Amino acid sequence: MDYRALIEESAKAHLPKRQIARQLYFLAPSFAFAGNTQLQLGLYEKVCEFLKLPLTSIRVVGSGHTGFSLVKDTPFDKTSSDLDIAIVDQQLYLDLFELAFEITEGWRDSSKFSGTPSEQREKKDSFLRYLRKGVIRPDLMPASPRKAEWENFFGKLADDYSNFCDGISAGVYARESFMAAKQESAINTYLSKQGIV
């Protein structure tokens, strides 16, 4: 499937960007798994088992889904590209939100984030910026056994799929609407670079 054409033709037909994002990410198959749904199913099942979530909570986003980065305009390359996964689950989002809130004493304690004091403040600010958009980036979470468990799982998963991608990362979205809004932003960036508004 030609995702560039799908995005560009939909924009030229004046479809709302949110609708373009929804058809692209909720209905179209992922580029990275073209012709290999068994591989996709295996990966999804591992993630779902780890998180105790239904298969429908998992989506591939980024260049792994479209075949190219909407923001950087670089192709998906299994030797150098990460596979980005969106996990859409309100309860998981709230659980991670609550954990981070408690660990940081209501965002007052930046020392729970890794790095130097300035890096800790920067990570906290970045974490909160994503949080305001309905997204939790577990890689930006404050230190905790839960974060370590997450990193261990996705690190091992990346090793298991090292012939397929360079790494695997995941973001947690409170609802589908937040995921669609995030992808809508990437679509706007892509269309702007193509001279299509």
Q: Tell me the pLDDT tens digit for each residue of 153-167.
A: 999 999 999 999 999
Q: Which amino acid is at 123?
A: K
Q: What is the phi/psi pair of residue 59, to 5°? A: -140, 145
Q: How far apart are CA 146 and CA 191, in angstroms?
A: 38
Q: Which residues touch 141 (CB under 8 Å, ≥6 apart)?
A: 96, 99, 100, 127, 147, 150
Q: What is the pTM of this model?
A: 0.92
Q: For residue 181, what pLDDT is reported?
A: 93
Q: What is the mean pLDDT of residues 126-136?
A: 97
pLDDT surpasses 90 at 140: yes
pLDDT surpasses 90 at 1: no
pLDDT surpasses 80 at 110: yes
Residue 170: closest CA among 58, 63, 66, 69: 58
User: Within 13 Å, how many C-alpha atoms sit on residue 182's CB side?
Assistant: 25
Read off the pLDDT of residues 41-99 as tens digits, 9 standing for 90 and up: 999 999 999 999 999 999 999 999 999 999 999 999 999 999 999 999 999 999 999 99
Token pair of 99, please? 């954990």
Q: What is the mean pLDDT of residues 102-116?
A: 95
pLDDT surpasses 90 at 138: yes
CA-to-CA dists, residue 167 to 6, 59, 122, 160, angstroms: 27, 16, 24, 10
Q: For residue 88, what pLDDT is reported?
A: 97
CA-to-CA dists, residue 54 to 17, 44, 51, 146, 195, angstroms: 27, 9, 9, 20, 39
Read off the pLDDT of residues 4-52 as tens digits, 9 standing for 90 and up: 999 999 999 999 999 999 999 999 999 999 999 999 999 999 999 999 9
Domain count, the chain: 1
Q: Which residues touch 131 (CB under 8 Å, ≥6 apart)?
A: 97
The rounded mean pLDDT for the chain is 95
- Structural domain including 140 reads 3-193
Q: How far apart are CA 167 and CA 80, in angstroms?
A: 8
